[in-house]
Structure 1
Amino acid sequence: MTSTNLIGGHVFVTGGLATGGLKYAAEIGAEMIQVFVTNPRGWALSVGNPAEDEKLAASGVQTFVHANYLINFGSPTPATLENSVAVTRHTLRRAAQVGARGVVVHTGSAVSQSREDALRQVREHLLPLLDEIDEDGPDLLLEPMAGQGQMLCATVQDLGPYLEALDHHPKVGVCLDTCHAFAAGHDLAAPDGVGATLDALNEIAPGRLRLIHANDSKDVCGSKKDRHENIGAGHIGAQAFADLMRHPVAAGISLCIETPGKGEKHREDIEVLKKLRSV
């Protein structure tokens, strides 16, 4: 059924992107996966292993790629901006090679410059990369952050100006991180918190939700702190994830955990979400 939410997680890879990644996915019961295709905390560009890329692409497992954490198209530092362009271009190409549906990228920060100047940089440097993506290639998924510092996107309303800067390009999607949204002030734990948030998202970015990072929060709503917790063990609570999977805006959208721990803890979180899906 196209309306069913696949549930999976970011996989820890040992022994090859496909070999290790798919093995870990099986161990935790993941129905879809998210992977890194290059160092997430460095600018070096990994060429990958063509055999592993081909194996992952042929596996039929729904795959997303998370881009480098350092990417920031709003940065006033020329070197950061130059590296952000190079790494994003490289990651989009690698994502196509592994058959990924999308590349998740953090929306960045203005740092020490104005929001307007930062968004002009986003337009100048990111929009051309979107035009390079083949029609059947992966979408670029904007992930709003928790709201700390001079972040360009935190609330779903912040996506409006960002999408405008990118001319509402057809290859732009959204990745909603539940912990980030909660930290930014969307009270997902409130009785209609999930509904209000997804309705607002669909009004600002209709039809653009492509992936949900399903993470509980160690901190309270509005804390602006990005600290993930295991499902049901944080301030968001399990009910919000059940509400999320029943909302029409999230129909058919995959949930990917990025929760603390490895192995057994990840398997437990995925099992909790699968039970909530069937409620």
Structure 2
Amino acid sequence: MRIGAHVEPADPLAEAAARGADVVQFFLTDPQAWTDPEPRADADALRAADVDLYIHAPYRINVATLNNRIRIPSRKLLLSHARAAADLGAKGLIVHGGHVDKGHDVATGFENWKKTFEYAAKEGGFPLPILVENTAGGDNACARRFDALARLWDTIGEYGAGFCLDTCHAFAGGEELLGIVDRVKAITGRIDLIHANDSRDPFDSGRDRHDNLGRGTIDPELIVAVIRAAGAPAVVETPGGAEGQGADITLLRDGLAA
């Protein structure tokens, strides 16, 4: 099982070495900006590295919303980041499931996700797997509760969408971690990546605040069990830089080896 961390984007390979990581995830731009990625000077090194790469799409992307001023740019930005990620040899582009505004029918959000894949297909298709990530909060979210996730997958599953399971988001979103891999795979048929995060907040809080493993409200053995059951690579998105994340990576490796 390959284990790694979400790192700062300036020198991902050095960050991976500092943590002893097999996998790195990073942003290609400011995650709060509507910015297309620029070519990277280290592109050749990233493509040649033994470290597996995953790219996280900007947080601003919400392809589900009914707001045209957000939805249309989101589609274009998602495709732009997918192309840039594929050029670096990334194994997937992670994007949050998104939501519709209060008072709107979430079913429209699912259809907008379908239109996102249709838009990409007209532009030549996504060049790498798009990994939809479950989210922690929002009553109108497309990928918080698994009943909504099932409706989303009924709409986009045919397009080959992948799935990223975040343990903090699931726990804070009200989904029990015990047996979660079987429940997810019954819906999506796959788990491509685990975001192995503890939660600062209690179960079903709806709050997305990550913590280092064993310091929050989730039993770290449950997180290890999720990774083992999924058989997927895992990335910690936890605080503490190389020291804190390195300790989390060691905890996961030790737990998986036990």
Name the TM-score, length of structure 2 as normaliser: 0.93
CA distance in 1, matches of 2:118, 2:63: 11
Note closer, same or farther for the CA distance 1:220–1:130 as it changes in structure 2 (3 Å cut).
Answer: farther
CA distance in 2, matches of 1:242, 1:43: 35
Aligned-residue offset at 1:29:
1.2
Q: Aligned-pair distance for 1:62?
A: 0.8
- Aligned partner of 1:42 in structure 2 is 33
CA deviations on 1:5-50 (whole Å, 9 max, x unpaired) are 1110011133xxxxx110011001111111111221100212222x
Which ranges in structure 1 are unaligned for 5 or more consecutive residues? 15-19
Alignment of 1:238 with 2:227, yes or no, is: no
Distance in 2, Cα, partners of 1:272 & 1:125: 38
Q: Which residue of 2 aligns with 1:87?
A: 77
Q: Are 1:66 and 2:62 an aligned pair?
A: no
Query: Given the alignment of the two structures, is residue 127 of structure 1 paired with residue 109 of structure 2, yes or no?
Result: no
Contact 1:157 1:200 in 2 (8 A): no
Unaligned runs of 5+ in 2: none
What CA distance in whole angstroms lies between the structure 2 residues aligned with 1:257 and 1:224? 20
1:87-236 residue pairs with structure 2 within 5 A?
87-112=77-102, 113-129=104-120, 132-133=124-125, 137-170=127-160, 172-188=161-177, 193=178, 196-206=179-189, 208-236=190-218
Kindly indicate whether the alpha-carbon contact (under 8 Å) linking 1:146 and 1:224 is maintained by their aligned counterparts in 2: yes
Correspondence for 1:264: 243
Over 3 Å counting, the alpha-carbon distance change for 1:161 and 1:145 in structure 2 is same
Question: Residues of 1 paired with 2:106 and 2:138: CA distance?
Answer: 14
Displacement of 1:272: 1.1
Supply the RMSD in Å over aligned alpha carbons: 1.6
Q: Do the aligned residues in 2 keep the contact of 1:157 with 1:201 (CA within 8 Å)?
A: no
Give the structure 2 partner of residue 7 of structure 1.
3
Q: In structure 2, what residue type is equivalent to 1:236? A: I
Aligned partner of 2:17 in structure 1 is 26
- Could you report, residue by residue, the CA deviation over 1:188-222 in whole angstroms, capped at 9, with x for unpaired residues? 2xxxx1xx21111111111x210000000111111
**1:223: how far off?**
1.1
Letter in 2 for 1:9: A
The whole-number CA distance in structure 2 between the counterparts of 1:79 and 1:175 is 27
SS of 1:23's equivalent in the other structure is helix
> Which residue of the partner structure matches residue 255 of structure 1?
234
Letter in 2 for 1:8: G
Task: Kindly provide the amino acid, as one letter, of the partner of residue 26 in structure 2.
Answer: V
